[in-house]
Every structure is written in structure tokens, then in C-alpha cells.
Amino acid sequence: MFRVIAIFLFSLGLLAGCDTKQQGSNPTSADAPIPIKVVVVTMFETGEDSGDDAGEFQRWNERRQLDTVFPAPHMHHDIRVNLDTGVMGIVTGMGTAHSASSIMALGLDPRFDLTDAYWLVAGISGFDPEDASLGSVAWADYLVDGDLAHHIDAREIPADWDHGYFPLFSQGMDDKNRKDYSLGEMFQLNPALVDWAFDLTKDMELPDHPTLAATRDLYVEHKVAQRTPFVLRGDQLAAMTFWHGSMMNDWANDWVDYWTNGTGEFVSSAMEDTGTYQSLDYLDRAGKVNKDRLLVLRTASNYTMPPPGKSAADYLREEQHDSYAGLDAALENAYIVGSVIVDELLANWDKYRDMTPGSEAAPAETY
């Protein structure tokens, strides 16, 4: 009974753990905003204590000693900060609606100064076995939205269509003129910043695990899927529907190819990143953040299609029952690789506060 009451009180911001400090949620006009150097953006957390089933946030929370809690009833999860280092960690919640609203709420929070902050999305994802292996880490150049579309059930599409998706207000996938205006279907990250992050991490040796080998060995038709974990560049498709299967995987590749004019490569499938960027874009226009300081790092907890001999439905149900074979490795590698970037920024903050790596490069594009 005490545990139930304690959890209830904590959720109301009335009880703080002995290892955390809690700050007020209603700053006065005399309170100076807290300058933040790095915001680590995670999407879900299953628990807050060591030893439980950790989600994306727990490693960052514990290892970065994010021990000051700022109650955030206007967001999915309370905000945690290490006031000594200037590192903040948040949990947006899953899906573009949660991520967009949480990022917007944070960006407008008067308790923090985010004008110089770098933003690191660090989350797990499904990966295309054609491009990467379980536990691998991908830096995205493009974020493509998989929800803004027309869709006709595959059982009713014309015989010469590969799938039932085509862009909103278009005549079909061959309508090149549709890309002349933006509804938020695609965002390109600062290419020079992505270059910088990839160059710092591309040669890292990532830990391997027996559970990874047992699963990747099933993918006999995909050589890259059988590799040990590695760091690569690969683009992110964000969609609220958790899809799976070879046919949907083909659609994801087509969709990313279409919106990036053939320059992008679909690698990771998740739910949130276009929502995160959209809010940062609006906040940038208001002078609250610098959207060109966003990095998106996704790690492979599972594949986006089944191995030979298994149906998409059976394999997806199997994964949902037994969890993803690459989950622990993906969570760990997100922290290992992401920390290289965080440590570099903190160690040389006098330089990076005023100069974004590659800031002399051309600005990112938005379609």
C-alpha cells in the first residue's frame, strides 16, 4: 500500500527520491533561465530504477547523473537536468503527436535557456536488413514522414501499383510537381553537423551479443544484416503505425526515395522524429532554439521484415511476445555512441557554444 501511495505522490510532484533534487514549476520573473548545453531526447521509459526493464531514458538518467527534477505536467514526463554539466534529458512519449507537443512545451518553458542547446535524439528503431544489423547505430540526414499520405487498401489498388500510398493532393507516386510545396513530409538535418557526428563515431567498435548472432544468422538473404553492430548513415521514416513486412519495407524505401529526390536511403523505422523536427522548426522561427543543432541517432532493436521462412504476421507477433532480440544492445549502443558527441560538446563548449560544427555550410532544406 505504501508503494502505491508513494508512486501517486511522486506523480503529483510531492515526493522526490533521496538521490534527486526537485525544482519548482512556477519560476518568478526574477529567476534567470537555466542555460542548457545538450538536450538528450528519448521517447519511452519503462521504469526509473536500476535493475528494472530499462527504456531509452534510464541509462542517460543514471550515467549522466540527471539528478535535478523539474516537474513538467505540461509534458509526457518530468524534465531531468545535471546542473553542473548543463545536460538535460527528456522523455517525449511515443508517436509524432507526443514528440511534437513535448518538444514545443519544453521550448516554451521559461525555466530554461535553450538558444545554444544541441539536441540529440537517441532511440531504438526497426532497421532495414538490407542496410544494417541488429545493434547498429545510424545517423540520419533526412527525416521522412510516413503518415502524411493518401492510402488505398492494397486489395483495391490498380494492378500496376506497388503499394497503396501516394502523396497528399497528388496524382500518384509519379507526380513530381507535388514536391513543390511542404506539408512537413520531409526534413533535412544540418548536413555538416551530421558529417561531424558521423566522423567522430564511424570507426567505433560496438559490443556484440550472442542473442544478436542467433537472430541475424536467420537473415541468410541479407549479407549486411549478418554483420556485427556498426555505425552508419541512414535515414529515418517516422510513422504512427507500427508496420512490418517485406512489402511495407519496399514502400518505406520508395517513400524515402521519393521525398529525398533519390538522395536518401531508408534505414530506420520509428514514430517520432518528424514531430520533433517540426516543433524545433517553429521554435527556431521564434528564436527559442537552433534547429540546425539537431542530431538523430537511431539504433537497431529489430528488423523491419521477417527472415526467410516466416510470415510478417507470425514474426511480428513473436517479437511482441518475446521482445526484440536487439533491444538491450540497441539501448546500450545509443548511449555509447551518443555519449561521444555529448562528451565532445561539453569538453569544448567554449568553441561549440558559438559555432556549430560546419556552420559555414549551406543551410538544411525543408520540403
- How distant is the alpha carbon of residue 118 from its chain centre? 14
Residue 78 CB neighbours (<10 A): 20
> What does the pLDDT look like over 84-136, one tens digit per residue?
999 999 999 999 999 999 999 999 999 999 999 999 999 999 999 999 999 99
Measured between alpha carbons, how far is 258 from 176 in angstroms, rounded to an integer? Answer: 9
Measured between alpha carbons, how far is 15 from 76 in angstroms, rounded to an integer? Answer: 18
Q: What is the DSSP string of 330-353?
A: HHHHHHHHHHHHHHHHHHTHHHHT
Within 8 A by CB and 6+ apart from 188, the residues are: 141, 142, 143, 260, 364, 365, 366
DSSP state of 201: H
The pLDDT confidence band at residue 172, using thresholds 50, 70 and 90, is: confident
Q: What is the pLDDT of residue 90?
A: 98
Nine-digit cell string for 43: 521517447
**317 pLDDT above the threshold of 60:** yes
Residue 342 CB neighbours (<10 A): 20
**270 pLDDT above the threshold of 90:** yes
Q: What is the pLDDT of residue 35?
A: 98
Q: At residue 25, what is the residue type?
A: S
The pLDDT confidence band at residue 362, using thresholds 50, 70 and 90, is: very low
The pLDDT confidence band at residue 361, using thresholds 50, 70 and 90, is: very low
Give the range among 42-46, 167-171, 320-324, 352-356 with minimum mean pLDDT: 320-324
The pLDDT confidence band at residue 1, using thresholds 50, 70 and 90, is: very low
Q: What is the pLDDT of residue 210?
A: 84
- How distant is the alpha carbon of residue 287 from its chain centre? 23
Q: At residue 269, what is the residue type?
A: S
Q: What is the pLDDT of residue 26?
A: 57
Query: Which of 282 and 28 is assigned the larger pLDDT?
Result: 282
CB 265 within 8 A of CB 131: yes
Superfamily name with CATH number, domain 31-148+185-352: Nucleoside phosphorylase domain (3.40.50.1580)
Class of residue 148 by CB neighbours under 10 A (exposed 0-12, middle 13-18, buried 19+): middle
Torsion of CA 250, 144, 230, 38, to 10 degrees: -160
**257 pLDDT above the threshold of 80:** yes
Q: What percent of the chain has pLDDT over 90?
A: 80
Give the range among 45-59, 169-183, 255-269, 343-357 with minimum mean pLDDT: 45-59
CB 196 within 8 A of CB 357: yes
**24 pLDDT above the threshold of 70:** no
* Domain spans in the chain, listed from the N-terminal domain onward: 31-148+185-352, 149-182
**50 pLDDT above the threshold of 80:** no
**12 pLDDT above the threshold of 50:** no
Main-chain dihedrals φ then ψ at residue 289, nearest 5 degrees: -145, 175
Q: What is the pLDDT of residue 20?
A: 62
Q: What percent of the chain has pLDDT over 70?
A: 88
Query: Which of 220 and 363 is assigned the larger pLDDT?
Result: 220
The pLDDT confidence band at residue 7, using thresholds 50, 70 and 90, is: very low
Q: Is the dihedral of CA 119, 124, 128, 132 positive or negative?
A: positive
Taking all residues of the chain, what is their mean pLDDT, rounded to a whole number?
89
